[in-house]
Structure 1
Amino acid sequence: MIPLNPTPGSKWTASRREDEAEFVRILESYGVPVTVRDTRGREIDGACGQLAAAEKGSSTN
């Protein structure tokens, strides 16, 4: 599972850690193996998806 990384202007928000943990618990209760990917770079807007969003929203030519 890949948690959402917030980006400016997105209508989506990241799930709370508690909700992620509950979803993992439900999947595992049905025997579904699941791994939550570690998110890095969020604090500098360098996490997956954040850099592309910043580039697309840029007005420089």
Structure 2
Amino acid sequence: NSHVNLIPLNPTPGSKWTASRREDEAEFVRILESYGVPVTVRDTRGREIDGACGQLAAAEKGSSTN
């Protein structure tokens, strides 16, 4: 058995990637569930303070520490 955890992409300055639209995310979940695949869409935390996964690393990489 398996379980799919979907983690929405957090916006990161300088990244060429963007988050999926909510409608696309919901459709993907619907398709997986139609095949009997259990799915959880994970909550994103820290986005508003640039502290979410990937954002801290990007902020650190972008800062100059001499």
User: What TM-score does the superposition give when structure 2 sets the normalisation length?
Assistant: 0.86
The count of aligned residue pairs is 61
Unaligned runs of 5+ in 1: none
Unaligned runs of 5+ in 2: 1-5
Superposed CA deviations along residues 5-56 of structure 1, whole A, max 9, x for unmatched, are 0100000000111111110000000111110100011111111110011101
Q: Percent identity?
A: 98
- Whether 2:10 is the aligned partner of 1:5: answer yes
**Structure with greater strand share of residues:** 2
Q: CA RMSD in A?
A: 0.8
User: What TM-score does the superposition give when structure 1 sets the normalisation length?
Assistant: 0.93
